[in-house]
Amino acid sequence: MTAEPLPSANSSAVLPFNSPVRRLPRAPQRKRTAEFTAAFDDRTLFYDCFRHADGQRILMVGPAWVNLEAGYRLAKFVALPSKTPLRVRFFPSLSTLVTELVGAPADTHSVEVTFAGERLVLPVQPSSAATLRDRKLLFSINRNNDLAWIREWATFHAKVHGTDAVILFDNGSSRYEPAEVLATLQLVPGIAFAGVPSWPYSFGPIDRAVRKDPYWARFLQIGSMSVVLRRYGELAYGLLDCDIDELAGTRSGRSIYELAKTSRGGLVAFRGIWIEATGGARQRDFRMRLADDKAALSRQRKWALDPSRKWVRKLSVHPYWHWIEGRALFAKSMPEDALYWHFKGINTNWKEQRAQAPAEAGTLVEDQLLVSALEKLQD
């Protein structure tokens, strides 16, 4: 039985090349490299425009406004075809902006935005929140990862944690079309719903000119997380943030979604273990880690979320790679039970060269907990 495809078309809005209005980086007087300038998204206003789960509001998600705050606040938002002016509220964070529109008639099919003299029309996309009610949702972003890796990633989380819905954004892959990624996910046993939104926009650079939060300009991935939560996942049983080269686990064998559901605040964060690139084609082929626990530690945190908590409904809550901005006090816990395995060999080396085996094989040991979890792939 194949998974049902989810609506994945998005509504983006970009300032034209001839517009004098541009987004500037933080501390714009500081020098940047040509590589930074080429990768920095200075024209995108919105990545998507969609109905909220309540059926009443319309939400728009885009990059941080930075120097464009005045432009957003002066912008006009009108429902089409009725031409009804919409009430607007903004919910900014360092790397993303959520715009809430209120007052749209039921027959609204598009939103007209007048921004800095430019007229932009965005079709209103449907919400899939009701479709994914009570589902265990896994999500990430992809660019040119091997389809076998993607299948293994989804299969593992389906068998080990009960994942039954997947959203995987495709960031302009050149090896295949998004439809091929969707077809791969649809054939994974246990997956009931799958969506592969195509977002071929700039991923964004690291900003070496600022010391605090140098990853702030990677708007696309952070914006996609707000879309996952607000368009797809607000009514889900749980959301799991794991990349293709990461597999979530627990020492007890419990589902990571259940850990989040039964936690005090609904948010479980966990660190990982590096699995070395010792040769193989899929995640199941890599089982060796450094014997030194500290050297094997992957420090960046991943998370699982229970979106039914009241604090999550606030639009000032923004999911990020390794944390959730605006979360409630004491919402996060880091149980010893939770972890993830970070596979050095599952990598296109887009960011750094790491798919190489350690020089001294004697420093490696087999990760027995991973071996036990991988046994479920053989069922």
Q: pTM for this structure?
A: 0.95
Cβ-contact 193, 165 below 8 angstroms: yes
Query: Per residue in 312-330, pLDDT tens?
Result: 999 999 999 999 999 999 9
State residue 379's pLDDT score.
Answer: 59
Query: Per residue in 9-48, pLDDT tens?
Result: 999 999 999 999 999 999 999 999 999 999 999 999 999 9
Domain spanning 9-123, CATH class? mainly beta
Task: Tell me, rounded to whole angstroms, the distance of Cα 256 from its chain centroid.
Answer: 17
SS (H, E, C) the chain: CCCEECCCCCCCEECCCCCCCCCCCCCCCCCCCHHHHHHCCCCEEECEEEECCCCCCEEEEEECCHHHHHHHHHCEEEEECCCEECEEEEEECCCEEEEEEECCCCCCCEEEEEECCEEEEEECECCCCCCCCCCEEEEEEECCCCHHHHHHHHHHHHHHHCCCEEEEEECCCCCCCHHHHHHHHHCCCCCCEEECCECCCCCCCCCCCCCCCCCCCCHHHHHHHHHHHHHHHCCCCEEEECCCCEEEEECCCCCHHHHHHHCCCCEEEEEEEEECCCCCCCHHHCCEEECCHHHHEEEEEEEEECCCCHHHHCCCCEECCCCEECCCCCCEECCCCEEEEEECCCCCCCCCCCCCCCCCHHHEEECHHHHHHHHHHHC
Task: Tell me, rounded to whole angstroms, the distance of Cα 158 from its chain centroid.
Answer: 18
Q: Please, which residues bridge with residue 238 across strands?
A: 136
What are the structural domain ranges in the chain? 9-123, 136-191+237-378
**Stretch 110-122: mean pLDDT, rounded?**
97
**Stretch 291-311: mean pLDDT, rounded?**
96
Q: Is the pLDDT of residue 152 over 70?
A: yes
State residue 270's pLDDT score.
Answer: 98
Query: Per residue in 44-80, pLDDT tens?
Result: 999 999 999 999 999 999 999 999 999 999 999 999 9
Q: Is the pLDDT of residue 361 over 90?
A: no
Query: Per residue in 247-259, pLDDT tens?
Result: 999 999 999 999 9
State residue 148's pLDDT score.
Answer: 97
State residue 354's pLDDT score.
Answer: 55
Cβ-contact 222, 63 below 8 angstroms: no
State residue 132's pLDDT score.
Answer: 98
147-161 vs 178-186: helix axis angle to the nearest 10?
30
Q: Which has the closest alpha carbon to 168: 147, 156, 189, 160?
A: 147
User: Whole-angstrom Cα distance, residue 105 to residue 19?
Assistant: 31
**Stretch 262-270: mean pLDDT, rounded?**
97
Indicate the burial class of 366 (C-beta count within 10 angstroms; 0-12, 13-18, 19 or more): exposed
Q: Is the pLDDT of residue 357 over 80?
A: no
Query: Per residue in 211-237, pLDDT tens?
Result: 999 999 999 999 999 999 999 999 999
Model confidence at 356, pLDDT cuts 50, 70, 90, reads low
State residue 301's pLDDT score.
Answer: 96
User: Whole-angstrom Cα distance, residue 191 to residue 166?
Assistant: 7
Indicate the burial class of 41 (C-beta count within 10 angstroms; 0-12, 13-18, 19 or more): buried
Cβ-contact 41, 63 below 8 angstroms: yes
Model confidence at 358, pLDDT cuts 50, 70, 90, reads low
CA distances 156 to 133, 159, 281, 282, 373, Å, are 22, 5, 15, 11, 8
State residue 103's pLDDT score.
Answer: 98
How many Cβ atoms from other residues are within 10 Å of residue 63's Cβ? Answer: 27
Mean pLDDT computed over every residue of the chain: 95
State residue 350's pLDDT score.
Answer: 46
**Stretch 85-93: mean pLDDT, rounded?**
98
